[in-house]
Structure 1
Amino acid sequence: MNPRHRESSVLLGSLLLATGSPGAVEPGEGGGAAPPSTPALGRVIPAPASVEPRSTPYRITADTRIRTRGAPGVQEVADHLAALLRPSTGHPLPVEEDVPDGIRLLLTDGEPDLGDEGYLLDSGPEAVTITARRPAGLFYGVQTLRQLLPAAVEERTEQPGPWTVPGGTVRDVPRYGYRGAMLDVARHFFTVDQVKRYVDQLALYKLNTLHLHLTDDQGWRIAVDSWPELTTKGAATQVGGGAGGHYTKDEYREIVRYAAARHLEVVPEIDMPGHTHAALTAYPKLNPDGEAPEPYTGVEVGFSTLCVPEEVTYHFVDDVVREVAELTPGDLLHIGGDEADATPKDEYAHFMDRAQALVTRHGKTVMGWHQLAGARPVAGAVIQYWGYDATSEEERRQVVDAALAGAKVVLSPADRSYLDMKYTEATELGLDWAGRVEVRRSYDWDPATYLDGLPEEALLGVEAPLWTETLATSAELEVMAFPRLPGIAELGWSPRATHDWDGYRQRLAAQAPRWDALGIRYHRSPQVPWPQQ
Structure 2
Amino acid sequence: MAACQTEKEEINFPKTDLSNMPMIPKPLKTIPTGSAFGLDAGTAIYTSTTDPAFEKVGRFLSENIKSKTGLELGVNSSSEAKLERLIYINQSDSVDLETPESYQLYIKKDSILLNAKTAAGAFRGIQTLQQLIPTKSNDTLTDHPLWVIPSGKITDAPKYGYRSSMLDVARHFFTVDEVKKYIDALAYYKFNTLHLHLSDDQGWRIEIKSWPKLTEVGGASEVGGGEGGFYTQEEYKDIVAYAADRHITVVPEIDMPGHTNSASLSYPFLHYAGAETPRVRTDMKVGYSSFDAQKDTVYSFLDDVIGEIAAISPGPYFHIGGDESHVTKKSDYILFVEKVEKIVQKHNKRMVGWDEIAQADIDSKSIVQLWNSADNALKAADNGSKLIVSPAKKAYLDMKYDSISEFGLHWAGYIPVDVGYNWDPETYVEGISKENILGIEAPLWSETISNGTELEYLAFPRIIGYAELGWSPSDHLDWEDYKVRLAAQVPYLEAMQINYYPSKLVDWNKE
TM-score (norm 1): 0.88
Q: Secondary structure at the match of 1:366?
A: strand
Matched, 1:282 2:266: yes
Describe how 1:6-155 pairs up with structure 2 within 5 A.
Answer: 42-72=21-51, 73-96=53-76, 101-151=85-135
Q: Distance in 2 between matches of 1:292 and 1:233?
A: 15
Give identity over the alignment, percent. Answer: 44
Describe how 1:317-328 pairs up with structure 2 within 5 A.
Answer: 317-328=302-313
Q: Secondary structure at the match of 2:63?
A: helix
Equivalent position of 1:522 in the other structure? 500
Q: Distance in 2 between matches of 1:515 and 1:162?
A: 23
Equivalent position of 1:252 in the other structure? 236
Q: Secondary structure at the match of 1:113?
A: coil
Q: Distance in 1 between matches of 2:104 and 2:111?
A: 13
Q: Secondary structure at the match of 1:475?
A: helix
Q: Distance in 2 between matches of 1:88 and 1:487?
A: 23
Q: Distance in 1 between matches of 2:366 and 2:271?
A: 27
Q: Distance in 2 between matches of 1:88 and 1:351?
A: 51
Equivalent position of 1:424 in the other structure? 402
Q: Structure 1 residue 124: deviation in Å?
A: 1.3
Tell me the amino acid that sits aligned with residue 489 of structure 2.
Q
Q: Distance in 1 between matches of 2:408 and 2:195?
A: 19
Q: Distance in 2 between matches of 1:186 and 1:480?
A: 17
Of 365, 370, 385, which residue of structure 2 is paired with 1:380? 365
| 1:469-498 CA-partner distances (Å, limit 9, x unpaired) | 011111111111111001111010001121
Q: Structure 1 residue 168: deviation in Å?
A: 0.6
Shift in alpha-carbon separation, 1:193–1:345, aligned structure 2, 3 A: same
Q: Secondary structure at the match of 1:128?
A: strand
Matched, 1:215 2:199: yes
Q: Distance in 1 between matches of 2:238 and 2:345?
A: 25
Equivalent position of 1:183 in the other structure? 167
Equivalent position of 2:14 in the other structure? none
Describe how 1:224-373 pairs up with structure 2 within 5 A.
Answer: 224-289=208-273, 293-373=278-358
Unaligned runs of 5+ in 1: 1-37, 154-159, 388-394
| 1:410-441 CA-partner distances (Å, limit 9, x unpaired) | 00011111111000000010000000000110
- Asked whether the equivalents of residues 427 and 433 of structure 2 are also in contact (C-alpha less than 8 Å), the reply is no
Q: Distance in 1 between matches of 2:189 and 2:502?
A: 19
Alignment RMSD (CA, Å): 1.9
Q: Distance in 1 between matches of 2:377 and 2:228?
A: 35
Shift in alpha-carbon separation, 1:52–1:168, aligned structure 2, 3 A: same
Matched, 1:173 2:157: yes
Matched, 1:444 2:429: no
Shift in alpha-carbon separation, 1:148–1:57, aligned structure 2, 3 A: same
- Asked whether the equivalents of residues 41 and 168 of structure 1 are also in contact (C-alpha less than 8 Å), the reply is no
Q: Structure 1 residue 40: deviation in Å?
A: 5.8
- Asked whether the equivalents of residues 284 and 291 of structure 1 are also in contact (C-alpha less than 8 Å), the reply is no
Q: How many residues of Structure 1 are paired with residues of Structure 2 in the alignment?
A: 484
Q: Secondary structure at the match of 1:531?
A: coil
Matched, 1:498 2:462: no
Which of structures 1 and 2 has the bigger CA Rg? Answer: 2
Shift in alpha-carbon separation, 1:459–1:139, aligned structure 2, 3 A: same
Q: Secondary structure at the match of 2:251?
A: strand
TM-score (norm 2): 0.92
Q: Structure 1 residue 514: deviation in Å?
A: 1.6
Equivalent position of 2:460 in the other structure? 482
Shift in alpha-carbon separation, 1:97–1:450, aligned structure 2, 3 A: farther
Q: Distance in 2 between matches of 1:87 and 1:177?
A: 29
Equivalent position of 2:12 in the other structure? none
Q: Distance in 1 between matches of 2:57 and 2:67?
A: 17
Q: Structure 1 residue 49: deviation in Å?
A: 0.2
Q: Distance in 2 between matches of 1:325 and 1:90?
A: 41
Tell me the amino acid that sits aligned with residue 93 of structure 1.
L
Higher relative contact order (CA 8 A, sep 6+): 1
Q: Structure 1 residue 292: deviation in Å?
A: 6.7
- Asked whether the equivalents of residues 68 and 135 of structure 2 are also in contact (C-alpha less than 8 Å), the reply is no
Tell me the amino acid that sits aligned with residue 129 of structure 2.
L
| 1:105-145 CA-partner distances (Å, limit 9, x unpaired) | 11111234332001111111101111111111110110001
- Asked whether the equivalents of residues 132 and 138 of structure 1 are also in contact (C-alpha less than 8 Å), the reply is yes
Tell me the amino acid that sits aligned with residue 223 of structure 2.
V
- Asked whether the equivalents of residues 404 and 454 of structure 1 are also in contact (C-alpha less than 8 Å), the reply is no
Shift in alpha-carbon separation, 1:304–1:93, aligned structure 2, 3 A: same
Tell me the amino acid that sits aligned with residue 55 of structure 1.
G
Q: Secondary structure at the match of 1:447?
A: coil
Describe how 1:148-163 pairs up with structure 2 within 5 A.
Answer: 148-151=132-135, 162-163=146-147
| 1:229-265 CA-partner distances (Å, limit 9, x unpaired) | 0011110111111211111111111111000000000
Tell me the amino acid that sits aligned with residue 465 of structure 1.
P
Tell me the amino acid that sits aligned with residue 91 of structure 1.
L
Q: Secondary structure at the match of 1:453?
A: coil
Tell me the amino acid that sits aligned with residue 67 of structure 1.
Y
Q: Structure 1 residue 511: deviation in Å?
A: 0.6
Q: Secondary structure at the match of 1:449?
A: coil
- Asked whether the equivalents of residues 287 and 305 of structure 1 are also in contact (C-alpha less than 8 Å), the reply is yes
Tell me the amino acid that sits aligned with residue 212 of structure 1.
L
Greater mean alpha carbon deviation, residues 142-151 or residues 259-268: 142-151
Q: Structure 1 residue 42: deviation in Å?
A: 4.4
Tell me the amino acid that sits aligned with residue 328 of structure 1.
S
Shift in alpha-carbon separation, 1:87–1:408, aligned structure 2, 3 A: closer
Q: Secondary structure at the match of 1:111?
A: coil
| 1:16-62 CA-partner distances (Å, limit 9, x unpaired) | xxxxxxxxxxxxxxxxxxxxxx9865420000000000111011111
